[in-house]
Structure formats: structure tokens, C-alpha cells
Structure 1
């Protein structure tokens, strides 16, 4: 009976053989497709050079081939140094651009004259595109309009921003009227720069006079601006100052009006607590408050000894020891000494015992107390047999 043989299966390819044949051939065939873009990029110029005053006329490309030309034009606010000439650069065979220099310069805005009753200041000393000018008015005048202007650009020209400001004369409206008072030149409707008005209070119809609280003179310092608010005219009266166990030594009177000043002192044997000088303020109160007189001399600050952090506590010395140390007798000190000695003695004894035990395990002593090597019973028996055999041989 013959066995039929089935079709022989194809030998599978190993990964190594597959890579070395098919894969390697595929890579070689497709390599040019990958290398062509690389060589094309290497064989090209990158972006053309950039400049502050000029830009490429056309939109930039990712790369440029040798022989490509890029033409430039001036940016807004700039003009050509050589009007009518072409500004360009060429991509050379060595993948570099032909030399090109800045060929555009900034345009200048027209010169500005000083405004009437004022002057201008060019910040960077020129009128070129991007510069700015500041306006300042003379004393007695204020600026109406922008204080700063800029040299700007559109597509083809440059110009100053905004319109020119002007310097106008400063005037103030009449200051505010006050109750129970008036000011000088109250008939005027307009006051000029630095003009002054003075306020005063009217006579009082009652028993107490009016006091002027605030600045009595106002000055026109800006356009419709006075240097302060108008004052007040009102009755300001403080109560008679009474200092118990003290007296007034200056500022005597029966009535004490606004800004009245009084000075105090205490009687003998008393100390003044507070300020000895007070004033009658705008609210009819003494400021600072009336002081007090307390019996006795002025307390001094407690002294602190060099060795103590609290006042009144003496510095610990040999003569004056802290309270806790006074109760510390000789007995506790002796007990501590004995305890320490016992602990040290135990440690030393343990070390000595350990050393002696170690030596005894390795050595023995004979009758004359000399150290000899320790011999086990088995070794001693073998030694005796050896001596017996040797002795027998000598006899024979």
C-alpha cells in the first residue's frame, strides 16, 4: 500500500529574507521620490532679506529657485533714496541672495510753528515719520486741544495727527459766597489768572463774634479753578478750661474763641499727664484734650538689671541665688554622683568580663600559670598513642 503524498507546501519566508529581497528593492525604487523634494529644497534660496523701510512687492513664496528675482517697494511712511530706480535681489546658484542695502528712508512731516502764548517740543528732535511733538502754554494760559501730536502715514504721504491746539487765557468765575461773610471785588464777574480775593466775616448781632474757619485768601490758579474752597464764618466758642489741682499760666480770658491758646501747669506735689498746651478747634472743642494732674511725682520707668529680662528682678549672683537653688542641698548632688559612678562601673565591668571570656576560650594555664594552647581530649589521646608507638620502635 503506497501512501499518497500531498502537495508540498511552499517554504515560508523568514522576516530576514523578506526584508533583504522585497523590502530592500522597494526602498531603492521609492528612494528618488523622497530625495527629490529634499534636493529641490537644498537647491533653493530661503526667504529674501527683510528691511525696516521696504518690503517685497509680491507675496512671499516658501522657496526660490536660482535666477528668481524679488522686487521691493518702500513701506508707508518711507521714500526711495533713488526715485525711479528698481530695488531688487536675485537668488544665486549657491542658494544665496545677491547683496541688497536699505534703499528707503523715513518721510518727514511739515514743520510746526509755536502756538500763540505757547511753544512746542519735538521729543526726538525731528519731524520724521513716527516722531511726536508736545505742546506747552505760557503761564496764565491753558491748552485747548491735544497736548501731543504724532507724525503718521497713509499710503502715499505723512501727516500730523489731530489739529493744532491753542493756548487760551485763564479766567476764573467768581468764588462761592459764604454765610455771615463776604470777599473783596465781589462785584466782578470774571477773575484773571493769579488774581486774589480775601474773605472776612460780618459783625455778629449776638454776644459772640464770628470766626473765619478756613483760608481767608483764594487765588485763581487755573481755568475756572481756585486754590481752595471758600472758608466759613460761624461762632466757635470753647468752654472755660478747668484743670483740677492745676492752673492756667498763659491764655487768660473769659471767652475762648477759635484758635484760642491756653497753657497749664500743676500745683506743687502733682504731675501733669497729657499736653500742657491746648487750642480751641473749629468744632468748639479743646485739642488736644485738657490734661490731668495726678498726685505724686512723675513715675519713672522701672530699671532692668543686665542679667534679668523683667524689671525689678535681680541678677543671679553667688550672693543671691534663685529661689529654687536655695532648696537644692548636698544630698541630691551626692546621689547623682553615685548613680553615675555605678553606671560607669557596670559598663567597665562588662567590657572586662567579655575580654576575659574570650581569652579563656583560646588559652589554658599549666601548673606554673603559664598560658598554653588548649588541647581537646581527642587530641591528647592521639598524642599518647603516637608516643607509645615511637617508644616501641626504639626498643626494637
Structure 2
């Protein structure tokens, strides 16, 4: 029984040796970011002289000088796989007028982000992705910011900057009509959010200048002083009249007394 088992094992080993001697190769070597072409993927054994061709995954390309195949040799080994798959380089994503892009890397799977200069708004997507077909989408554009003129209020006029449409950082200068005083800044600027800053001024009726009020106060004080002087003068005159009246009364009293005594 034991002898039969040994003979069976020996037969299996000899069969395996015969297969190796025949030169069959097992699965070919693995390739990072790549694989054998579809017709070879399902095979598990290859005869001597068989060539297995490789492809890189989508978005990857063979490095220059790479060999794209391996061959099954007589000793049941594969020739060395001398291939490298590297990500596709999409190159420059496209320059943008009045703006710029940021792209730390331009290879497969990376993105380029676009920015507009101050005073410009972006039209389109601000991002492009490097795909196996190249950069997706379109290069955006940067459009100058514009402001519509604010409504002109009463009693005010424009003296500089007549529009009719204003670009970023362009200004309007105002002045009030005669007899009106300005409330707010006389110069406003087209801002990055398409509005003017600060808000347009308004014009209100002008109050008398402060020096006129000062003159009126000084005149009022002079009138008060004069009126006080007149009151004091009238008071002194009144006291004199009262003294004369008292003297007259004393004269009459003396005359009446003299008559009564005689």
C-alpha cells in the first residue's frame, strides 16, 4: 500500500516536471497602472514563445523607451517587463486674458483653477480637469466689471464722469445746486460688486452760515445792554419825579399847619 502511494506521488512529480520542461509559463508579470490586453487576461498558462502585450490604464501612457510586451522562455519564465506607465501630461490648460490659472501639476487627474484680476468677473467654470482626452471644458473668460449709473436725486448735478455705463474704479463727481448743502461724499466709485461706493450724496436746503448766527447773537446782546441802560435811566427819572412830589406834599402840609395855627 505504501509502495503504491509513493509511486503515485512520483508520477505526479514527473508529470509536473514534464510540463515545466515543456516550457509553459504561468501568469505574466504585473504592471503598475497597466495590464495585459484583454485577450490575455483570462489565460493562466502560456506556451514557450508566447508574447503578452500590455496596455496602460486610461489616462496613463508608456514612458519613452518602454517595452510593451513580455515573452515566455524555455525555462518557463517571462522576459523582464521593462515598461512604466506614467500619467498623461495635458500640458498648458490655456491662458486667460485679464486673469491667471493655478496648476501645481498638469498630469492626469489634476486640476487647473482660474482666477480673474481685480475688477473682472469670471464667465464660465473656474476649473479644468486633466482627463485621458486632455483638459475638459473650456478656458473661461474674465469680463470687466461695470456699474449702472445711480439715479440722480433732486438739486444735484454731475460735474465729472458722465457714463452712461461705468467700468471698475471709474468715478462720478457731484455738486449741489446753489443754495443747497451736500450730505455725503461728492465722489463715488464703481466697486467690484457692480455697485457704487459710497452711496450717492443728497442735497438739502442750506442753513445760514454760522457767522451770521454769531452776528445775530452779538446784536442781541447789544440790544439787551441798551435796554438795561434805558430801564436804569427811566428808573432814576422816576425816582426824581417821586422826590419832587414828596417835596410838594411837604410844602402843602406846612401851609396847612400855618393856617390852622393862625
Report the TM-score, using the length of structure 2 for normalisation: 0.48
TM-score of the aligned structures, taking structure 1 as reference length: 0.35
> Could you say which structure has the greater relative contact order, defined with CA pairs below 8 angstroms and 6 or more residues apart?
2
The structure whose residues are more often helix, as a share, is: 2
